[in-house]
Amino acid sequence: MSKRKLVVIGGDAAGMSAASKVRREHPDREIVVFELGRHTSYAACGMPYFIAGQVESSDHLIARRPEVFRERQNIDVRTRHEVLEIDTAKRRVKVRNLEQGTTFWESWDDLLIATGASPIVPDLPNINAEGIFSLSHLQSGIDVFEYMEAHRPGKAVVVGGGYIGIEMAEALLERGLEVALIDMAPEVMVSMDVDIAGSISQAMKDAGVSVFLGEKLERFETDSRGRLSAVVTDRQTLEAELVILGIGIRPNTRLAKAADIELGANGAIKVNKRLETTVPHVWAAGDCAESFHLVKEEQVFIALGTVANKQGLVAGINISGGTMEFPGVLGTAITRFRDLEISRTGLSEKEAKEIGIRFRVKTIDALTRSHYFPGSAKLRVKLVVEDGTGRLLGGQIVGGNGAAKRIDTLAVAITARLTAEQLVYLDLAYAPPFSPVWDPVQTAARTLV
């Protein structure tokens, strides 16, 4: 088993987690990683904070460089190498060396596809104009930072009100830009319910972001030099010298599809709980692969760094000869807009309606600390429970300092299939600097018992 050769396509979270695990289990096994970009194992989620100037250097976002993998772990990482084709019959991949312009075939005994996901870029007039960016890999964040340093834009438009859109709106405000955000949806953060998301858009407006909801992006306008000058929606024209597209992402599955590897939820690669694809000895993990949703009890596409790292570890264990299953996901996520913390897990009320679960819901307002303790901030908790059983299905939290990480308590409770009543009586910690005597998630649960 230790003599088997592993080839990994993709050198970020899932790919390098798997490769590192295989190396730890098999010190003499041949491992080759092909990475399209220049960087490996980087913190993509940190890019908005680097652009904002809150992270001193893009170097700080790199957990481990290619040369470290090569020298310390004997993992043959080859950056700037694009995999063009997967031949499952002959167990080989066709690769182009982008620096030298040469093409070659590389054989494998086991193949891990960890190609990630790419931003959705709409086919609109002038979409390729100078000044329009999407964030995906580390280099894209560096490109935005360098463009801002070189051109000093004064007005920016963020397209899309999801995680990237909200974080980039904050980042651009921090850099002193005049910022507008547009979204087709009736509220920002479509993964949350409108009554909770309204707090987010209001916080953005209060901070000076012009938020335009229910507006459809139609085209971009440019000046005589071909540089971005305006964003046109179905309602207005906004002057802009910088645009950040945060419309959404798609799994990178072109290679898998061409190799007749079956696709699943939302076009992601179909995998079982061992992260095996429908082709023997081919595995998939990370943002290109589907996951099992613990509440919906169906396969879903959820692209999160936490999921990618865990899937990479599970794939690495199984490629090494072990037996491990990836249990599933809840879509637990967290972000912030300035002082407002934002988090969610499990099902929203909207999702519960969509899949036909009978449910009850309650939203409460509370404080992050005892009311008399300095620094106490407001927060709002929304819980969704199954009607009849009281089983916890989902939760959303928005509020001040100390609010959002409470979502972890809810994620554990939902995973354990606890009821609202059981959550009420969990022995959670209490002291005035950290919480009221009844933690807000328990207060919310009490209203559903």
pLDDT at res. 269: 98
Distance between CA 382 and CA 437 in Å, rounded? 19
Contact 165, 277 (CB under 8 A): no
**All structural domains of the chain:** 6-46+58-117+250-319 (3.50.50.60), 121-247 (3.50.50.60), 339-446 (3.50.50.60)
Q: Kindly report the average pLDDT of the chain as a whole number.
A: 96
User: Residue 33: pLDDT above 60?
Assistant: yes
Catalytic annotation, pick one of 4, 45, 130, 273: 45
Distance between CA 182 and CA 200 in Å, rounded? 14
What's the pLDDT tens digit per position in 72-101?
A: 899 999 999 999 999 999 999 999 999 999
User: Residue 41: pLDDT above 90?
Assistant: no
What's the pLDDT tens digit per position in 235-244?
A: 999 999 999 9
User: Residue 1: pLDDT above 50?
Assistant: no
User: Can you tell me the mean pLDDT for 204-212?
Assistant: 97
User: Can you tell me the mean pLDDT for 54-64?
Assistant: 89
Task: Please confirm, yes or no, whether 288 is among the known catalytic residues.
Answer: no
pLDDT at res. 310: 97
Which phi and psi angles does 243 have, rounded to 5°?
-130, 135
- Residues in the chain, overall count: 449
pLDDT at res. 294: 97
Look at residue 178 and give its three-state secondary structure. Answer: strand
Model confidence at 276, pLDDT cuts 50, 70, 90, reads: very high
pLDDT at res. 64: 84
Closest CA to 25 of 323, 316, 309, 281: 316
Residues 6+ apart with CB under 8 A from 239: 155, 229, 230
What's the pLDDT tens digit per position in 151-190?
A: 999 999 999 999 999 999 999 999 999 999 999 999 999 9
